[in-house]
Amino acid sequence: MNDWLGLHERAALVAGAGGIGAAAALGLAGHGARVTVTDVDEERLAALAEQATEAGLSISTRAADLTDPQGARALVNETAEAMGGLDVFVHAVGINDRRPVLETPDDVWERIIDVNLKSAVWSAQAAGALMVSGGYGRIVLLSSVSGLLAHAHHAPYAVTKGGINQLCRVMAREWAPHGVTVNAIAPGYTETDLTRAYLDKPGVREGMVGLVPAGRLGTADDLVGPLLFLCSTQSVFVTGHVMYVDGGRTLV
């Protein structure tokens, strides 16, 4: 195996077994990392484990609710103990609910903030504590172009992604002296379970494609290469960076 990325036998934890999380986990495992994936949905975890087996890869799974601070920290610590350490942490947990600001109730705000932002705080904090102590680590958080652009009907989602960007930057500044990098991947319009129903509405897909200079929507696989780089030893001097993987969407 050509281990140019330095991922062979690295202990990696991926939070989120959906489209992007699954692609990240399979990409890391395909480059020799020892991967554990966590998600609140046990059926989704089972499907990913089966997909990995069919691809000749091995991925461990652990069901957990990362919106609970104690549960999130326990999951990270228990996974690290089982794997003999933690080198890589990827947070790919997210939900959205598209409504105008004036029509977004309190419970929707609270749920999106809990799932998208607080789960990243609790889990990345626990991962960072282990990595700082060990003198090495790679943390990658999933952001979005919505953290930069003012998309209508995306207020809670956009707020959490803007928060992810700043969380990434502050953690990166604090942990850089300890050999730990913290970066974010910000996808553009990407075809996943989170966006499928919305994209299927009349005219939506065409309208979104028209805003992307590359002339198409993104896929989860488009994110794997950039993500693997940020998880690798090759990104040793890259930290606090929000990498837009958007086909040029943020240029328009």
Q: Please check whether residue 211 lies inside any domain of the structure.
A: yes
DSSP string over 95-118: ------GGG--HHHHHHHIIIIII
Which structural domain, as residue segments, surrounds residue 164? 11-245
Q: Please check whether residue 4 lies inside any domain of the structure.
A: no
pLDDT of residue 2: 66
Tell me the β-bridge partners of 36. Answer: 13, 60
Q: Please check whether residue 32 lies inside any domain of the structure.
A: yes
CA distance 73 to 171: 16
pLDDT of residue 205: 87
Q: Please check whether residue 113 lies inside any domain of the structure.
A: yes
| Contact (CB, 8 A) for 32 and 2 | no
The tally of domains found in the chain comes to 1
End-to-end CA distance of the chain: 40
Tell me the β-bridge partners of 212. Answer: none
According to DSSP, residue 235 is labeled G
Q: Please check whether residue 212 lies inside any domain of the structure.
A: yes
136 is catalytic: no
pLDDT of residue 234: 97
Where does residue 83 rank: exposed (0-12), middle (13-18), buried (19+ CB within 10 A)? Answer: middle
Of 157, 189, 198, 244, the catalytic one is 157
| Contact (CB, 8 A) for 77 and 54 | no
pLDDT of residue 196: 73
Q: Please check whether residue 2 lies inside any domain of the structure.
A: no
Q: Which two tokens stand for residue 17?
A: 């077994």
pLDDT of residue 60: 98
Count the Cβ atoms, other than its own, within 10 Å of residue 38: 24
Q: Is 14 helix (H, G, I), strand (E, B) or coil?
A: strand
Q: Please check whether residue 145 lies inside any domain of the structure.
A: yes
Q: Which two tokens stand for residue 44?
A: 């989704």
Mean pLDDT by 10 residues, the chain (252 residues): 88 96 98 97 97 97 97 98 98 95 98 98 98 98 96 96 98 98 94 74 86 92 97 98 96 88
Length of the chain: 252
CA distance 139 to 154: 26
Q: Please check whether residue 144 lies inside any domain of the structure.
A: yes
pLDDT of residue 198: 74
CA distance 19 to 139: 19
